[in-house]
């Protein structure tokens, strides 16, 4: 069972925020993890205590700088911070649920705080881009977590894992209901931690099912989800 991704230990930044700002970030994190769209929010700092915002601004800026992001306003920075916190908590919850199954985590050393005493067994370091295809096809199950920043959309891994010939188990998002890739046909889907563990156990017991999903997923990517397919769709749209 393989998980590829970066983890950010955000607690020290949250502790440095002024109380009102920290409570607001936590509120947004909770909403994002429940599937709310963060892009729908605006103007939420208009009535904020300015002392709290001023105290928290350097923390926003340092957080964003460390992640290589620059923003021109406080609201955008705050939403970015909340999205990173939400994503990290979601990834941590997912990986913790997979530790009993011997998950192999490929990412940064911040994962040590999540894996704890199982770090030596589970942590495999950074996965380089040129090695990802081999990693995906060699894993019995590849786990994917979508970002709370885009709560409805598929991500690149939904396509890259099947294209490499790997079996993908991903959390559910609305775009999977549009027939782009079909749950149970091209990939497996979980809705919560309990279902994640159930699906992992079932797939580990069934190599034939893993192969079927991987082969059907790859066939579907080759059939209609290559870059040339998108280019053709874009060209047709521009010409219409």
- One-character DSSP codes across 176-226: GGGTSS-BTTTBEEESSHHHHHHHHHHHHH-HHHHHHHHHHHHHHHHHH-S
pLDDT of the residue at 215: 98
The predicted structure's pLDDT at residue 117: 95
- Dihedral (CA of 122, 124, 130, 135) sign: negative
Q: Tokens 């997912």: give the residue.
A: 94
Q: How far is CA 180 from CA 87, 125, 136, 165, 224, in A?
A: 24, 32, 20, 18, 9
Tell me the DSSP string of 31-73: HHHTT--GGG---TTTTS-HHHHHHHHHHHHHHHHHTT---SS
Residue 22 · residue 124 · CB < 8 Å: no
pLDDT score at 39: 60
Residue range 149-192, pLDDT digits in tens: 888 899 999 999 999 999 999 999 989 988 899 999 999 999 99
Is the CB of residue 184 less than 8 Å from the CB of residue 154?
A: no
Which pLDDT score, from 0 to 100, does residue 177 have? 87
pLDDT, position 40: 61
Measured CA distances, 175 to 29, 50, 111, 139 (Å)? 22, 39, 29, 25
Residue ranges of the chain whose pLDDT lies below 70:
38-42
pLDDT for res 79: 87
Q: Which of 105, 42, 110 is nearest to 78 (CA)?
A: 42
Each residue's pLDDT tens digit, 2-23: 999 999 999 999 999 999 999 9
């Amino acid at each position: 069972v393989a998980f590829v991704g970066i983890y950010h230990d955000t607690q020290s930044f949250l502790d440095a925020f002024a109380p009102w700002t920290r409570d607001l970030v936590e509120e947004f994190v909770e909403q994002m993890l429940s599937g709310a769209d963060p892009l729908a929010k605006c103007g939420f700092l208009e009535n904020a205590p300015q002392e709290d915002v001023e105290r928290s601004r350097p923390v926003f800026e340092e957080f964003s700088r460390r992640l290589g992001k620059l923003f021109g306003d406080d609201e955008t920075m705050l939403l970015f911070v909340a999205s990173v916190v939400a994503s990290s908590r979601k990834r941590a919850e997912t990986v913790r649920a997979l530790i009993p199954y011997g998950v192999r985590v490929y990412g940064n050393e911040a994962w040590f705080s999540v894996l704890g005493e199982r770090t030596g067994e589970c942590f495999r370091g950074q996965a380089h881009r040129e090695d990802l295809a081999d990693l995906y096809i060699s894993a019995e199950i590849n786990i994917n977590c979508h970002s709370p920043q885009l709560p409805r959309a598929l991500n690149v891994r939904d396509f890259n894992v099947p294209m490499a010939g790997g079996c993908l188990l991903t959390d559910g998002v609305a775009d999977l209901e549009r027939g782009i890739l079909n749950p149970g046909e091209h990939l497996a889907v979980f809705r919560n931690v309990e279902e994640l563990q159930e699906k992992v156990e079932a797939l580990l017991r069934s190599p034939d099912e893993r192969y079927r999903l991987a082969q059907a997923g790859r066939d579907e990517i080759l059939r209609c989800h290559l870059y040339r397919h998108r280019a053709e769709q874009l060209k047709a749209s521009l010409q219409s």
